[in-house]
Amino acid sequence: MTSVHHNTVSSSATSPLRLGIAGLGTVGTGVIRLIRQHDGLLRNRTGRQIEVVAVSARNRTRDRGIDLSGLRWHDDPTALANDPDVDVVVELMGGAEGAARTLVTEALKAGKAVVTANKALVARHAQELAHLSHEHKAPLLFEAAVAGGIPAIKMVREGVAADALTRLGGILNGTSNFILTEMAETGRAFEDVLKEAQDKGYAEADPSADIDGWDAAHKLSILTAIAFRPIVFDSLAVSGMRRITTDDIHQARKLGYAIKMLGVARRLPEDRVEAWVQPCLIPARSGLAQVNGVYNALTTEGPFSGPITISGQGAGEGPTADAVMADVIDLARGHGLPLWGRVDEQAPIPCEPVGNLASRFYLRITLTNNVNAETTLGELRTILGNEDIAVEQGHHHTSQGGATQIILLTKPVTLNDIDRILPILEEMPIVQGTPLALKVEDLP
C-alpha cells in the first residue's frame, strides 16, 4: 500500500491546475478573489498556473461582487465531478448530507482531488471518505474545515507527524468564544450577547451548531482521527454553554480560572481515546485563557515535541479562503496524503465514556431565599463528603439576580460521581433550580 495519491494532480506537472468550485458564498467568492489577486504568487509558489474553470451555485443572477464571466456554470454541482476540464473539485456548499456529500463522493470516484471546508461531512462520513480517497487514489484535503485560517490540520498531520501525541485540544469555535469573551468583559447576559452576535452576522439565526458545541465537535473529531485514530462521531460527548452566566465567569475568575468552550482529546492506554466538547474552567494564566473574541487556538502535546499552540482567526472569508488555497497549493505541488495522514485504514472506535473520566469540578448551587449560606455551605460539604466527593474550596456570594449562590470546587472525582449528586442537590428544599457543574481542565 502506498501512502501517496497520484492522478491529474501529479508532482511533476507544470500544466495549469484547473479548479471547479461548488458554492459561491463568502468563502467561494473569497477563493476566486484570492486566486485573482495572488495570481503571480501562486504560480511562483507552485510552478503552475492555478485557475478556476467552472463553478456551481444555486443562483446564477445574484450579484456576488466578482466577475464570473468566462467560467463554465453547472446548475447541478455533481456535474463538476464529471467535468473533464476540472482537476480539483472545491466543495464549499456545506452540509453533511445531500448535494455536498454526493458531489464529494462522485468526485473521488472519478479520481479527482477534492478540497473542502465542510467539517460536518468529513467528521460524519470519515470512514467512507477515507476508503473512497484510498480506493480511487484521489486526495481529499480539508484544512479549511478546522479552525479557519489556522493551519491546524497541517500542524497535526505533518508538523508533529513524527511524535506520538498524548493530548490535543483548544478553542475550536469562534462564535462561542466571542460570546464568552463579551460576557466576561462587559458583564452582559448570554442572551444579550448572543442576540448582538446574531445581529452582526457572527452567529446563525439557529445558533445551536456554535453554542451547543456541534461545530467544535466536528473539528475535534477530525483532529482526533489524524492525531490518534478515527472515532465514532456520535460517541463524542458534547455539551453546550447555554447555562453559563456572567456570575459563573466572575466566580471562576475569583478562583483563578477562566471559562472557555473546549474540545479536548487524549490518547488513553490500550488504544482508547478520550474526546469531548464542553465549557470548562481553565487556569486564568494559561495561554488558552488569553485567546479571546472570535479567535481559535489549538494545543498539541507529545513526548518529543512538547506543547505547541497555534492561534488565529477561526472563521471569515479571508482566513477560510486562504486555508482552502493552502490545500490547492499542496495539490499543485504534488503533495497528496491519505485522509488521516496514515496508510492504514482504521475503523472508527467509540470514545471512552466520559462518566469514567476524573477531574475537579466547579459546582454552582443557587439557594432559596432566607437560607443561611454559611450553615448550608457546611451542610453541603457533608452531603458531598458522604458521596465521596471531597470539596477543595467553597464560598458563597449574592448573584446578579439577588439570590445566594454556593460555589464549590471539588477534588478530582468522576463525572459519574457528579451526575449522581446533582439530582440529590436539586431535590433539596433549600436549593433553587438546577445546580450547574463544569469540568476543570488543568492546562500548561
Binding residues are 22-29, 119, 204
Among 11, 208, 375, 386, binds a copy of itself (CB under 8 A): 11
Can residue 274 be called a binding residue for a copy of itself (CB under 8 A)?
Answer: no
Does 302 interact with a copy of itself (rule: CB under 8 A)? yes
- Residue 42, amino acid: L
Calpha distance 177→168 (Å, rounded): 18
* Contact status: 154 vs a copy of itself (CB under 8 A): yes
30 vs 240 by CB, closer to a copy of itself: 30
Helix (H) or strand (E) holding 190: helix 190-200
**Total residue length of the chain:** 444
- Per-position DSSP letters for 298-309, written without gaps between them: EEEEETTTEEEE
Is residue 258 involved in binding a copy of itself (CB under 8 A)? no
Which is closer to a copy of itself, CB of 4 or CB of 390?
A: 4
Residue 109 falls in the annotated catalytic set? no
CB of 343 to a copy of itself, least distance (A): 4
Other C-beta atoms closer than 10 Å to the C-beta of 191 total 10
Which residue of the set 219, 254, 260, 439 is catalytic? 219
Q: Which residues are annotated as a binding site for L-homoserine?
A: 204
Cβ contact 383:424 at 8 Å: yes
Judged by CB under 8 A, the chain residues 345 through 384 that form the site for a copy of itself are none
Q: Is 309 in the site for a copy of itself (CB under 8 A)?
A: yes
Out of 268, 308, 349, 383, the residue judged to bind a copy of itself by CB under 8 A: 308
Q: Which is nearer to a copy of itself, 299 or 404 (CB)?
A: 299
18 vs 50, 51, 432, CA distance in Å? 6, 5, 62
Report the nearest approach of a copy of itself to the CB of residue 93 (Å).
21
Annotated binding residues for NADP(+) = 22-29
Q: CB-based contacts of 320: which residues, under 8 Å, 6+ apart?
A: 27, 30, 117, 144, 148, 149
Query: In whole angstroms, how large is the CA radius of gyration of the chain?
Result: 24
Cell, residue 363: 459546582
Phi first, then psi, for residue 63 (nearest 5°) are: -80, 115
253 is an interface residue for a copy of itself by CB under 8 A? no
Would you count residue 66 as binding a copy of itself (CB under 8 A)?
no
Please, what is the minimum distance in Å from the beta carbon of residue 139 to a copy of itself?
A: 12
Closest CA to 360 of 385, 381, 391: 391
Q: Phi and psi dihedrals of 155, rounded to 5? A: -60, -45
Write out the residues near a copy of itself by the rule CB under 8 A: 1-4, 6, 11-12, 14, 30, 34, 37-38, 41-48, 149-151, 154-155, 158-164, 287, 290, 302-313, 316, 318-319, 321-323, 325-326, 328-330, 332-335, 337, 341-344
Q: Which residues are part of the catalytic machinery?
A: 219
